Amino acid sequence: MNPEVIITCAVTGDDTKVTKSPHCPVTPAQIAASAVEAARAGAAIVHIHVRDPATGAFSMATEHYREVVKNIRASGVDVIVNLTCGMGGYIYVGDKGMSDTPAPGTDFVSQEDRMRHVIELCHEGKYRPEIATLDCGSLNFGDGNRAYVSTPNYLRKGAAILRELGVKPELEVFDTGNLWFVHQLIKEGLIGAPALIQLCAGIPWGVPADVGHLLAMVNTVPAGSIWTSFAISRMQMPWVAQSVLLGGNVRVGLEDNLYLSRGVYASNAQLVTKAVTIIEAMGAKPLSPAAARERLQLH
């Protein structure tokens, strides 16, 4: 069991279903405000996607990330900012092979372009993130013809960029083969210690959200790593307890689950508060951002 737990709040993902919730933040100001509320509730890390303020659709625009981070910093609330680099990896294939591929909805770009906002914010210097994500493998992402493509060489490039920028990668693992490649990145010297690993469960068609699969991955996490896990939808809160029991940290938030209870929409702060209640009821405690920073060796 982990007695001191880092809580991450994933404020809003890229899925349009999140906008069903009346608590889903859309504009940069709303996203920042929701992140600050989550931090006040006990989150040490906030994981940020941005959306087009006019349409609510996901966005990759540096200007929106800049405004979110600026507003978080201006709040005076201490929290570790973790920016996604997952956008730009989706390919929709057609039913007729290359004749209708890529199909509408494809946003596939180079690794550098997936990370453009992080690169630009780091070069500007003022609103650089402390953590950014790398999705550590390709995946059939949901039903239909959508796949997320993140190849070994794309990931090597991404890890090298983050190392050069001085930003810690969060290595997002959606299946067991992804975790195998995390070992390879460490072996090649592309990931500094301690590696930060996020085990993502229940996303079709990655690793299922059951304790057997989670335990198998925990048993193969690289030595010395710090790991977090989450599961989506109704498994979000049971996964908080499961992660702590197995020695890990936790992630909650509207990216992964919209509800506080059946039919009751949650805010990010409410989900963090519920996670804190579970953690403390187990005899553990949430870590502050400062303590989490020290554990993760963020500089």
Range of the domain at 235: 4-296
The mean pLDDT value for 107-118 works out to 97
> How many domains does the chain divide into?
1
Per-residue model confidence as pLDDT tens digits over 70-92: 999 999 999 999 999 999 999 99
Query: What one-letter code names the amino acid at 83?
Result: L
Per-residue model confidence as pLDDT tens digits over 147-182: 999 999 999 999 999 999 999 999 999 999 999 999
Whether the per-residue pLDDT at 299 is higher than 80: the answer is: no
- Confidence at residue 16, expressed as pLDDT on a 0 to 100 scale: 83
The dihedral of CA 257, 260, 266, 271: what is its sign? negative
- Confidence at residue 115, expressed as pLDDT on a 0 to 100 scale: 98
Whether the per-residue pLDDT at 12 is higher than 90: the answer is: yes
Stated pTM of the model: 0.96
Residues sharing a CB contact under 8 Å with residue 299, sequence separation 6 or more, in sequence order: 166
- Confidence at residue 59, expressed as pLDDT on a 0 to 100 scale: 94
**Dist. CA 235–CA 201, nearest whole Å:** 9
Q: Tell me if 35 sits within 8 A of 71, measured CB to CB.
A: no
The mean pLDDT value for 282-297 works out to 98
CATH number at residue 142: 3.20.20.70
Per-residue model confidence as pLDDT tens digits over 205-228: 999 999 999 999 999 999 999 999
pLDDT band at 14 (very low <50, low <70, confident <90, very high): confident
Q: Angle between the 236-245 and 268-281 helix axes, to the nearest 10 degrees?
A: 40
In the chain, what percentage of residues exceed pLDDT 70? 100
